[in-house]
Amino acid sequence: MHSHCALYRLAIWTLLLIIGGSIPTAGTATAGEPIAYRLKWLINASTAGDVVARQQGFFERAGLEVEVKAGGPERDAIRELELGYAQFGVASADQVIRALAKGASVVVVAQLFQVNPLQWIYRAADFSLTKVEDLAGHTVGITYGGNDETIMRALLASAGMDAGQVKLASVRYDYTPFFQKQVAVWPVYRNTQGIFLADKLKAGGETVAFFDPSRYGVRFVANSVVTSRKMLDQHPETVLQFTRALLDGWQAAMDPANEEATITAVAEHDRDTADEVMRRQLAVTRQMIQPDSSIPIGHIDTAAWQQTETIMLNQKLIDKPVSVISRLHPQSGS
């Protein structure tokens, strides 16, 4: 009797182990299972490729069922990877590096923006910015604690300047200080807010120019595609298929021949932006996603990632190096 019970229990445990081994752990997904892809921000021209990859069937043709989820100020893609709410996400390099400093197990599989869209706008008739030193004596807007503060301080340091040579002013989403010339140099996302502000000033007979940090040696990495180390280790083929399909979607979205279809796809989510404005937003976005046709969309700029970590370390935004280079895992040549 006891031997029969022992055999019965052994059979049950064996069955449970077999079943348990086939169940994916939280935060991962196997072929045929839904995949959640959390964006960094709301859907607009900056997420055109993400939307096109979903709506025009690139994921489906790769055998993947993907839900593209809009981001926003209350969303944290890396946190959702850790909690198992998403399998892939979009995060900027500083978010990745901060997360690594806190012990997160996150990896980067593609870099969407080769040029950071975070730049500064100013009135071209008032002065010209052709080098970092030209900022001296001007009031420069920054968001304290934001990437723009980090980038601006890195720019000043690279030119041997200190904050006393410029007047740094705290800014928010209210553009009034810029319109009233209280702040001369204002931080914007070049491909979205930059278009809006340029239009506003043009309506008043003014022209604008943009100060791009990457032209002066500061290449602070922006939006990139991330997943968990567990996902990469347990389902490398899914990671490869997802990344390839996503980048194919971005390739299609950035092709001028597909502009109208791309606008239609984005407009389903971004109903407040007129088609003509979005057309110009896409034109600028193309220059940032693929500024050089010899560099494939999704290419990971290793040197820029290392520079971003160094900047954050120098400004004491992280306590010690995180070896971010070891977390870069380009897929299929990205």
The arrangement of secondary structure in 118-216, i.e. its CATH architecture, is 3-Layer(aba) Sandwich (3.40)
**Amino acid, single-letter form, for residue 128:** S
Dump pLDDT digits (tens) for 114-165: 999 999 999 999 999 999 999 999 999 999 999 999 999 999 999 999 878 9
Residue holding tokens 């839904």?
Answer: 34
Residue 23 pLDDT > 60:
no
Q: In 3-state terms, what secondary structure has residue 99? A: helix
The pLDDT of residue 18 is above 70:
no
Strand partners, 110: 225
Residue 92: in which H helix or E strand, if any? none
CA distance 78 to 96: 8
Work out the average pLDDT over 33-39: 95
Nearest to 123 by CA among 182, 163, 69, 77: 182
CA dist., res. 170 & res. 149, Å (int): 9
| Mean pLDDT within 258-274 | 97
**Chain segment 75-113, per-residue pLDDT in tens:** 999 999 999 999 999 999 999 999 999 999 999 999 999
State the Cα–Cα distance between residues 25 and 67, nearest whole angstrom: 19
What is the average pLDDT score of the chain?
92
Residues 285-312: tens digit of each pLDDT: 999 999 999 999 999 999 999 999 999 9
Q: Write down the CATH superfamily of domain 34-115+221-327.
A: Periplasmic binding protein-like II (3.40.190.10)
Q: For residue 189, which amino acid is it?
A: Y
Q: Would the CA dihedral through 312, 50, 72, 123 be positive or negative?
A: positive
For residue 197, give the nearest of 182, 209, 213, 212 by alpha carbon.
Answer: 209
Over 90: is that where the pLDDT of 29 sits?
no
pLDDT-above-70 percentage for the chain:
90
Q: Where in the chain is the domain with CATH 3.40.190.10?
A: 34-115+221-327, 118-216
pLDDT at 61: 97
Q: Sheet containing 118-123: give its strands across.
A: 186-189, 118-123, 208-211
Residue 240 has pLDDT above 50, yes or no: yes
- The pLDDT of residue 31: 55
Q: What is the pLDDT of residue 28?
A: 63
Question: Residue 77, SS3?
Answer: helix
For residue 216, CA distances in Å to 133, 159, 220 come to: 11, 9, 11
Helices (runs of H) and strands (runs of E) counted in the chain = 13, 10
**pLDDT surpasses 90 at 8:** no
| pLDDT, position 6 | 43
State both tokens at 83: 């909690």
Q: What is the pLDDT of residue 163?
A: 79
Q: What is the pLDDT of residues 171-201, one digit of tens each?
A: 998 999 999 999 999 999 999 999 999 999 9
Q: Can you say whether the dihedral through the CA atoms of 305, 74, 288, 220 is positive or negative?
A: negative
